[in-house]
């Protein structure tokens, strides 16, 4: 399939005329063909009008039809074959195995949402039958189901050009909920975005859905994103990226005459607690495991372990010695974009320039454009507590080790942390009491708590939470990975004494959709 540099607005391809940009191969610094035409307010207007026109028809598609649509998107993405992988490699600098794995995850997540749609539990149908004889007042017939919010704006992430981008988790969960989607493609991987966008556009057509169910816009600079978020027909936003970008879009959404929810995943440093018995038992293995997790994918994961906490002593010294050696031998690796590499360098310079921070190790020197050297820094609990800037995210393979005098200091630091996507505890059974004392704090801080693993690598499943208190995300009540992500784009509607013929199928007597429903408080399939 040829990449044209056009936006996809409903069924049409459209060349934008508000500026031009090209993707850059971060491994060589070379610009890639073709040029992409940026869109403006007119394109946002057209895509949102189509999305709104499609909404009522799309949200009433049957469960089977909607599931088949998601599966068709997955099949069409696979049909793109190696052209998709080659373009994503050129635009991101990420290696083939990583992108093939990411394609598998993207397709798998679309199929998982198809299963979820079919099963119908997300409708959360509830029926409290009328009790006309109830005293002192009769009870009305009260029924509830969830409906989709409306068209959703999705901002793809730079660091997952497939799994968190055009057909990523935000798009899959919004479409599963019955929301049309308008994607603002990330300017770092527009060719990958166009290919995947065309796969979705073809699925919309072959499944006989209204064209406005999906559009893909490109733009130069921030105006197009702001115009999209402030369009009155957009009813929710999914975003993964920088704290600054997320905050700007949250502010734009809150300023609207009708404010809307923004589900932004922004910034997390994913603390790892090295408990004393774990350090005593396996300091060396922990040192190696930590460096492997930190440097994977040039550290460009939102779940990258950005700080470590341990109690000062010889076992922590053993951990540091191994980590310093492993990190010192780690090759420099290509980052996603020149801007992300520049942000990494300035974050590393900020830490290495701090009087309270020691540079413990740097990775091997860079040998090509846009490469970054891994970095490990050290500080004390007191210094960390005295300088809130030490917990700012440095996106990339940089981490800060905090030496704590005792378990109480570890808990004090934990208490001072901002909200996180993950916290990890490295522990042995003998650490049980200390971890039990930490857990209430960790639950308040993070969306996912892991024991004896590393935070990079997020399973796409029903129980996953990829979310957490601010600034990890803008809304700690949700997740952007896993089937629960569908809830972000739904709201409950209650039907009181509505005549049977007017009720949605999900709430009719006899349970025609064979749903799991809660009848008079009792779960079942009546």
Q: What residues line the site for ligand NAP (CB under 6 A)? A: 155, 157-159, 184, 186-187, 222, 225-226, 240-242, 245, 248-249, 265-268, 302, 340, 343, 393, 395
- Chain center to CA of 152: 15
Determine which one of 43, 102, 265, 393 is catalytic: 265
Residue placing its CB nearer to ligand NAP in the complex, 99 or 311: 99
Q: What is the C-alpha separation between 221 and 223, in angstroms, rounded?
A: 6
DSSP per position, 473-489: BS-TT--SSSGGGGGGG
Residue placing its CB nearer to ligand NAP in the complex, 65 or 296: 296
In whole angstroms, how close is the CB of 417 to ligand NAP at the nearest point? Answer: 16
Q: Is 505 a catalytic residue?
A: no
For residue 347 the two structure tokens come to: 């974050």
Are 474 and 263 spatial neighbours (Cβ–Cβ below 8 Å)?
yes
CA distances (Å), origin 508, targets 124, 127, 142: 14, 9, 12
Determine which one of 179, 302, 393, 404 is catalytic: 302
In whole angstroms, how close is the CB of 346 to ligand NAP at the nearest point? Answer: 10
Residue 481 phi, psi dihedral angles, 5° rounding: -125, 140
Residue placing its CB nearer to ligand NAP in the complex, 183 or 361: 183
Q: What angle do CA 404, 318, 353 make, to 5 degrees?
A: 55
Whose structure tokens read 């990258």?
Answer: 304
Q: Is 461 a catalytic residue?
A: no
Run of H or E residues at 250: helix 243-255
In whole angstroms, how close is the CB of 343 to ligand NAP at the nearest point? Answer: 4
Residue placing its CB nearer to ligand NAP in the complex, 328 or 338: 338
Residue placing its CB nearer to ligand NAP in the complex, 435 or 446: 446
Question: In the 8-state DSSP scheme, what is residue 375?
Answer: E
Considering only the C-alpha atoms of the chain, give the largest distance between any 2 of them, rounded to a whole number of Å. Answer: 81
Are 66 and 176 spatial neighbours (Cβ–Cβ below 8 Å)?
yes
In whole angstroms, how close is the CB of 46 to ligand NAP at the nearest point? Answer: 19
Q: What is the C-alpha separation between 394 and 399, in angstroms, rounded?
A: 8
Q: In sequence order, what are the beta bridge partners of 420?
A: 446
In whole angstroms, how close is the CB of 241 to ligand NAP at the nearest point? Answer: 3
**For residue 436, what are the contacts with CB-CB under 8 A and spacing of at least 6?**
none
In whole angstroms, how close is the CB of 248 to ligand NAP at the nearest point? Answer: 3
Residue placing its CB nearer to ligand NAP in the complex, 184 or 411: 184
- Which residues belong to the active site? 265, 302
């Amino acid at each position: 399939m040829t990449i044209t540099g056009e936006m996809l607005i409903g069924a049409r391809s459209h060349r934008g005329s508000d500026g031009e940009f090209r993707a850059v191969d971060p491994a060589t610094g070379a610009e890639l063909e073709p040029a992409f035409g940026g869109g403006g307010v007119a394109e946002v207007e057209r895509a949102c009008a189509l999305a709104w026109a499609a909404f009522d028809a799309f949200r009433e598609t049957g469960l089977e039809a909607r599931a088949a649509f998601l599966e068709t998107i997955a099949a069409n993405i696979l049909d793109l074959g190696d052209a998709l992988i080659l373009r994503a490699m050129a635009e991101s600098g990420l290696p083939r195995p990583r992108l093939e794995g990411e394609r598998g995850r993207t397709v798998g997540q679309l199929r998982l949402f198809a299963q979820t749609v079919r099963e119908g539990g997300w409708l959360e149908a509830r029926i409290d039958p009328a009790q006309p004889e109830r005293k002192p007042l009769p009870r009305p017939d009260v029924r509830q189901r969830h409906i989709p919010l409306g068209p959703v704006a999705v901002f793809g992430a730079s660091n997952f050009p497939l799994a968190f981008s055009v057909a990523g988790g935000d798009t899959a969960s919004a479409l599963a909920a019955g929301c049309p989607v308008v994607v603002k493609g990330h300017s770092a991987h527009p060719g990958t975005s166009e290919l995947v966008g065309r796969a979705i556009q073809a699925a919309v057509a072959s499944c006989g859905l209204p064209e406005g169910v999906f559009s893909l816009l490109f733009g130069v600079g921030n105006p197009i994103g702001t115009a999209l978020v402030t369009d009155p027909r957009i009813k929710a936003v999914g975003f993964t990226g920088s704290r600054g970008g997320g905050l700007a879009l949250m502010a734009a959404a809150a300023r609207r005459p009708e404010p809307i929810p923004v589900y932004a995943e922004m910034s997390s440093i994913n603390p790892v607690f090295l408990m004393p018995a774990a350090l005593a038992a396996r300091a060396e293995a922990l040192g190696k495991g930590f460096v492997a997790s930190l440097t994977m994918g040039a550290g460009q994961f939102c779940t990258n372990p950005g700080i470590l906490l341990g109690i000062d002593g010889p076992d922590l010294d053993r951990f540091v010695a191994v980590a310093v050696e492993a990190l010192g031998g780690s090759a420099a690796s290509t980052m996603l974009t020149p801007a992300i590499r520049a942000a990494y360098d300035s974050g590393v310079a900020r830490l290495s320039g701090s009087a309270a921070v020691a540079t413990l190790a740097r990775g091997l020197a860079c040998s090509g454009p846009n490469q970054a050297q891994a970095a490990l820094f050290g500080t004390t609990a007191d210094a960390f507590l005295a300088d809130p800037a030490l917990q700012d995210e440095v996106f990339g393979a940089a981490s800060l080790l905090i030496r704590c005098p005792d378990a109480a200091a570890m808990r004090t630091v934990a208490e001072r942390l901002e909200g996180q996507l993950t916290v990890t505890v490295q522990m042995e059974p003998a650490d049980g009491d200390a971890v039990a004392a930490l857990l209430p704090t960790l639950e308040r801080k993070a969306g996912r708590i892991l024991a004896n693993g590393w935070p990079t690598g997020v399973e796409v499943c029903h129980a996953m939470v990829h979310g957490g208190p601010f600034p990890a995300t803008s809304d700690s009540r949700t997740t952007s990975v896993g089937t629960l992500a569908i809830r972000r784009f739904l709201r409950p509607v209650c039907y009181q004494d509505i005549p049977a013929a007017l009720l949605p199928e999900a709430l009719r007597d006899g349970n025609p959709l064979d749903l799991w429903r809660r009848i008079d408080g009792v779960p079942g399939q009546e």
